[in-house]
Amino acid sequence: MTVSDLKQSYPDSSKPKINWARIEEAEDFANTVKLFRQGKYDEDSFRRYRLQHGAYGTRMTNDYAMVRIKLPAGEIYPYQLEKISQLSEQFSIGSAHFSTRENIQLHWVILEDVSEILRGLAEVGLTSREACGNSVRNVMCSPLSGVCSDEEFDSTPYALATARFFLRNPLSQSLPRKFKFNFTCCEKHGMVRMVDVGLIPQTRDLDGTIQKGFKIFLGGGLGNKSFVGHQLEEFTPEEDLLYTSIAVIRIFDRLGDRKNMARNRMRYLVNDMGWEKFQNLVLKERAIVRATQSVVTHLEVDNTPSIIKRPIRISDESGSSIPDGYARWLKTNTIKQKQSEYYSVFITLEAGDITSNQITALAEIIQEFSSEGHARAGFVQNIALRYVHEDDLPSLYSKLLTVGLAKSGALTMAAPIGCSGTTSCNLALTNSHRLAKEIQRKFLELKLDQDDDLRDSSIKISGCPNACGQHGIATIGFFGGGGRVGKEMYPNYQMSLGGRSDEETTLGATCHRIPAKRVIPVILKIIELFKQNKKSDDTLKDWIHRIVNGKEESYIKSILDMRKALDSFTIPPTKEEDPDFYTDYGSDSSYHTKTGKGECAA
Partner 1 sequence: MSQEKTIKTTTDIDSLRSEIRDKSVRVIDVRREEDYKQSHIPTAVNLPLANLLSDDSPERVLKLVNAMGIDDETPVVVYDDTFGALASRVAWTLEYLGHSDVSLLETTFSKWKSLGLENDDKTPEIQSKEHSIHLKPEILATSDYLETSKDKPDVILIDNRERLNYLEQHIPGAISLPYRTLATQDKILRPKDDMKRLLDNRGISGNSEIITYCGSVGTLSGLAYYALKSVGLPNVKLYVRSFKEWKGLEKPIAKQQDANYWDLSAE
CB of 590: closest distance to partner 1 in angstroms? 13
Judged by CB under 8 A, which of 116, 257, 302, 390 binds partner 1? 116
Told to check if 449 binds partner 1 by CB under 8 A, we report: no
Contact window for partner 1 (CB under 8 A) among 91-99, 149-157, 501-509, 541-549: 91-99
Tell me if residue 98 falls in helix, strand or coil: strand
Q: Is 130 in the site for partner 1 (CB under 8 A)?
A: no
Name which of residues 261 to 290 contact partner 1 (CB under 8 A).
none
The verdict on 6 binding partner 1 (CB under 8 A) reads yes
For the range 217-220, what are the long-range contacts, defined as Cβ-Cβ under 8 Å and sequence gap of 24 or more? Answer: 217/192, 217/193, 218/248, 218/266, 218/270, 218/278, 218/279, 218/282, 219/266, 219/267, 219/269, 219/270, 219/271, 219/275, 219/278, 220/192, 220/193, 220/194, 220/195, 220/196, 220/267, 220/505
93 lies in the binding site for partner 1 (CB under 8 A): yes
Provide the minimum distance between the beta carbon of 308 and partner 1 in the complex, in angstroms, as a whole number. Answer: 30
Q: Does 424 bind partner 1 (CB under 8 A)?
A: yes
Distance CA 72, CA 227 (A): 25
- Using CB under 8 A as the binding rule, whether residue 112 contacts partner 1 is answered as yes
CA neighbor of 384 nearest in space, from 133, 92, 102, 59:
102
Instruction: Choose the stretch contacting partner 1; rule: CB under 8 A; options: 103-111, 176-184, 500-508, 561-569.
Output: 103-111
Check residue 92 for interaction with partner 1 (CB under 8 A). yes
Q: Do β-strands 209-218 and 197-206 pair in parallel, antiparallel, or remain unpaired?
A: antiparallel
Residue by residue, DSSP assigns 132-167 as SSSSB-PPEE-TTTTT-TT-SS--HHHHHHHHHHHT
Cβ neighbors of 120 (< 8 A, separation 6 or more) are 83, 86, 87
Positions in 34-63 near partner 1 (CB under 8 A): 34, 58-61
**Which residues are CB-contacts of 14 (< 8 A; sequence separation ≥ 6)?**
77, 78, 79, 367, 373, 374
Phi-psi category of 221—alpha, beta or left, where left has phi over 0 and alpha has psi -120 to 50?
left
- In the complex with partner 1, which residue's Cβ is closer, 112 or 502? 112
Q: How far apart are CA 109 and CA 90, in angstroms?
A: 9
Identified binder of partner 1 from the candidate list 36, 56, 91, 329, rule CB under 8 A: 91
User: What is the pairing mode between strands 382-389 and 375-377?
Assistant: antiparallel
Q: Which is nearer to partner 1, 154 or 353 (CB)?
A: 353
Which residues sit opposite 216 in a β-bridge? Answer: 199
Q: Does 440 bind partner 1 (CB under 8 A)?
A: no
Answer yes or no whether residue 128 interacts with partner 1 by CB under 8 A.
no
Q: How far is CA 35 from the centre of its chain?
A: 34
Q: Is 68 in the site for partner 1 (CB under 8 A)?
A: no
The helix-helix angle for 241-255 and 266-273 (nearest 10°) equals 80
Q: Which is nearer to partner 1, 394 or 596 (CB)?
A: 596
Contact between 13 and partner 1 per CB under 8 A: no
Q: Does 314 bind partner 1 (CB under 8 A)?
A: no
| DSSP class of 227 | B
Least Cβ distance, residue 212 to partner 1 (angstroms): 40
To the nearest whole angstrom, how small is the minimum distance from the Cβ of residue 16 to partner 1? Answer: 21
Piece in contact with partner 1 (CB under 8 A), picked from 2-10, 128-136, 222-230, 564-572: 2-10
Distance of closest approach, residue 31 Cβ to partner 1, in angstroms: 10
Q: Which of 192, 231, 234 is nearest to 213 (CA)?
A: 234
CB 365 within 8 A of CB 400: yes
Task: Report the C-alpha gap between 255 and 443 in whole angstroms.
Answer: 46
User: Binding of partner 1 at residue 585 (CB under 8 A)?
Assistant: yes
Burial of residue 495 (CB within 10 Å: 0-12, 13-18, 19+) is buried
User: Quick check: 115 and 26 in contact, CB under 8 A?
Assistant: yes
Using CB under 8 A, pick the residue from 14, 86, 169, 398 that binds partner 1.
86
If one asks whether residue 597 binds partner 1 (CB under 8 A), the answer comes out as: no
Q: Is residue 122 involved in binding partner 1 (CB under 8 A)?
A: no
Residue number, 165 or 585, with CB nearest to partner 1: 585
Question: Does 125 contact partner 1 by CB under 8 A?
Answer: no
Of the candidates 45, 94, 224, 532, which one interacts with partner 1 according to CB under 8 A? 94
Q: Residues 342 to 401: which contact partner 1 by CB under 8 A? A: 349-350, 353-355, 358
**Which position among 258, 284, 564, 594 is part of the footprint of partner 1 (CB under 8 A)?**
594
Ramachandran angles phi, psi of 120, nearest 5°? -60, -40
Give me the least distance between CB of 160 and partner 1, in Å please: 29
* Interacting residue with partner 1 among 129, 386, 433, 546 (CB under 8 A): 433
In angstroms, give the least distance from the CB of 483 to partner 1: 18
Cβ closer to partner 1: 315 or 589?
Answer: 589
**Among 53, 68, 107, 376, contact with partner 1 (rule: CB under 8 A):** 107
Position 559, amino acid: I
> Nearer Cβ to partner 1, position 250 or 437?
437
C-alpha distances (whole Å) from 392 to each of 240, 315, 343, 575 are 42, 12, 10, 54
Per CB under 8 A, does 588 bind partner 1? Answer: no
* Nearer residue to partner 1 within complex by CB, 115 or 306: 115
Angle (CA) 465 346 406, round 5°: 105
Return d(Cα 407, Cα 373) in angstroms, integer: 22
In DSSP terms, 513 is beta-bridged to: 494
Residues making contact with partner 1 (CB under 8 A): 1-4, 6-7, 30, 33-34, 58-61, 86, 89-95, 97, 107-108, 110, 112-113, 115-116, 349-350, 353-355, 358, 420-424, 431, 433-434, 437, 584-587, 594
